[in-house]
Amino acid sequence: MDPVTEIATEPSGAPDPRTLRRVCGRFATGVAIIGTCAPEGRPVGLTVNSFASLSLEPPLIVWSLALHSPNAGLFTPGALFGVSILRAGHDELARRFAKPQPDKFAGVPHRRCPRGVPYLEGALATLSCRVERADALGDHLLIVGAVEGLTASEGEPLVFYGGDFVRVAA
């Protein structure tokens, strides 16, 4: 077993944000692109690794978005969005959708579901969702989505661990 390193906290008892990020980075996560549409119909996308299943009955998922994100206002109750779960090898897509740019979907193979929500072609899985709740907590917006449709294929997931993308050993 590896030795444990005790991490000092602030005098308030709370860890500083950098330390918290480093420690939480020890939890491996999948990576997804959240897609929605701006009011004028332009596709909008962003990379998240905060995605998780919340409930099977009813089918709900949860993810979070920084409150300072220019896209935070798009995720209000009733708004539609899609989740494209990335597969191994989609590192560059994850990086592209994590950076601010005017049209992240330009030149990226994608499709729109019948309700207009964009999904990435070649995603490991997709979920069609509607915002059930969007609550500001701390410095993030916690978004609960009601799952209304889904697809899945076989393959390896893109995994984020310790600040980088890694492969999962079989």
Are 116 and 42 a contacting pair, CB within 8 Å? no
Over its length of 170 residues, how does the chain's per-residue pLDDT go in tens digits?
666 565 555 566 777 778 877 776 676 789 999 999 999 989 999 999 999 999 999 999 999 999 999 999 999 999 999 999 999 999 999 999 999 988 999 999 999 988 889 999 999 999 999 999 999 999 999 999 999 999 999 999 999 988 888 888 66
User: What domains can be seen in the chain, in order of their start residue?
Assistant: 30-152 (2.30.110.10)
Q: Which of 141, 127, 120 is nearest to 77 (CA)?
A: 141
Strand partners, 29: 160
Q: What's the whole-model pTM score?
A: 0.87
